[in-house]
Amino acid sequence: MGVTILTQFPVENKTGPQIIELLSKRISALGAVPQGQFLVDCETYSSVPALGHQRTVHVLHNSEQPATVFALLETGTKTIPLATDGLFDLLMMKMSSFYQSKKQTKAESKGPRFEIGDFCVKLGSVTVSSNFKGVLVEVEYKPCVVPAMCWDLIMEFMQGFLGSLGPTTPPSFLQNRMQDIYSPIDTIQQYLEHFTLFRKSPGPALIMRPQ
C-alpha cells in the first residue's frame, strides 16, 4: 500500500464514458497495462433525532481492500475513522433504528484500473444515486509510504497524462499529514471529501446511460 492521490478531472461538455476513454487512451499510450476494474462506494447514515445531537456515519468499501469496511463517524466537531472487517455492514443493518440510511445519497466511483511501473492508476466515473457527477482520477505510487517524500514525483506523473489539469498542490486532506505514514483509510478519507463535494454540487445534467 503506497501513497494515493485523488483528483477530480473536469468534465466540460463531455460524457463520462468519453472522458474515461480519452484518459484510458492516454495512459495506455504511456505503456500502462489494464488490470481489471475497481469500485469505491459510499453510503451515508445519520442518527435518529432520539439520539440527541445528530451524527453522521459514512460507510465505504474499496475493491482494493475487499475484506475491509471503512466507517467515518462525523460528530460535527471531528471525524473518527474506523477500519473494520466485513461484518460491520451487518451491524449497521442491526442498528437501523438508530442510524438510518439517507436515501438518494449512495455515491460510487468505478471504472478501469491500470498498472504502469510501480504506479496504479484508476479512472473512476462518479455517480450519486445513479446520476453521473464527474470523473475522479486516482494515482497510487506503491513503493513509497510517506506522502511528503513522493508528492513531487506523483505530481510529475499526473501531469504526464492529465496535462495542465493535473493537481499542483496536495489534496487538502493530506496537507496536514504529509509526514505521516500513509494507510488505506487515508485514501477513503480523500474519496469521502470528493463524494461530499459531488453530492452538494448540482453536477452535470447528464444521466449515466447503461453502456
> What residues line the site for another protein (CB under 8 A)?
1, 31, 116-119, 141-146, 148-150, 152-153, 156-157, 160, 181
CB of 28 to another protein, least distance (A): 14
CA dihedral 208, 198, 93, 187 (to 10 degrees): 110
CB of 148 to another protein, least distance (A): 8
CB of 140 to another protein, least distance (A): 12
Burial of residue 179 (CB within 10 Å: 0-12, 13-18, 19+) is exposed
CB of 151 to another protein, least distance (A): 8
Nearer to another protein, 72 or 116 (CB): 116
Cα separation, 187 vs 191, whole angstroms: 6
Instruction: Write phi, then psi, for 168 (nearest 5 degrees).
Output: -120, -15
Nearer to another protein, 160 or 204 (CB): 160
Work out whether the CA dihedral 165, 166, 169, 170 comes out positive or negative: positive
Q: What single DSSP character describes residue 181? A: P
Nearer to another protein, 17 or 184 (CB): 184
Nearer to another protein, 43 or 115 (CB): 115
Instruction: Write phi, then psi, for 72 (nearest 5 degrees).
Output: -125, 120
